[in-house]
Amino acid sequence: MTGRLRAPTGRYGGKSAAQRQAERRRRFLDAALQLFGDTPGYRATTVAALSEAAGLSTRQFYEEFRTLEDVLAALHLQVNDWAEAAVRTQDLPLPDRAAAIFRAYAGNVTADPRRVRITFVEIIGVSPRLEEQRLARRARWVDLIRAEARTAVLRGEAAHRDYRLAATAFIGGVNGLLHDYSAGWVDATLDEVVDELVAQLLAVLRPPGPRPEG
């Protein structure tokens, strides 16, 4: 398949062509969340199976996507967008701010095990393109931690230093711990997991040595 089939134009059933296209795309992504994120998984799913699960035809699939990898890429971005939307920084003291951020993030990601599988399992090793996308999205979370670190430094809550490596290592730990928790490999409640993440973040922002004034 060298390109997408051309989608129809005009209105039908009271919906514009753009509205119908958006609805089809949503149905394909909803079906992909179920098939990729649960059973049988991305690698065992076919275009025909995904189309059937979405209640659409393979012709309609190729109007929206070129390959199943395109669907996985779009779904991975969507899951990350949901998690980002759940995180809102607030004007609170550092410990409360860190707790609010990670409670919102962990609650969103782990609320649906299928999202965890898409984010931490199915996306791994598919292709160089998706690996680049995965690392780019992880970099956005690293940037969020670095931004929080800069805010903490300006407020006198953290030591002034380069937090690039520390933030990268911390996000790797976040991903690993949330994956293991969701897989049932961690004997702890979600609150305990979040408390541990917050404690680790505060340790990163407050390294050993003289505490910042203020």
Q: Tokens for 66?
A: 């070129």
Cα–Cα distance, 73 to 83 (Å, whole number): 16
Q: How confident is the model at residue 120 (pLDDT cuts 50, 70, 90)?
A: confident
Q: What is the pTM of this model?
A: 0.80
Per-residue pLDDT, averaged over 160-174, amounts to 90
Cα–Cα distance, 159 to 213 (Å, whole number): 9
pLDDT at 189 over 70: yes
Query: What would the pLDDT profile of 74-92 be if each residue is shown by its tens digit?
Result: 999 999 999 888 887 667 8
What's the pLDDT at 128? 96
Q: What separation in angstroms does the CA of 68 have from each of 13, 61, 152, 169?
A: 29, 9, 43, 31
pLDDT at 59 over 90: yes
Average pLDDT, the chain: 86
What's the pLDDT at 20? 84
Q: How confident is the model at residue 212 (pLDDT cuts 50, 70, 90)?
A: very low
Q: How confident is the model at residue 6 (pLDDT cuts 50, 70, 90)?
A: low
Per-residue pLDDT, averaged over 33-62, amounts to 96
Sign of CA dihedral 41, 45, 49, 54: positive
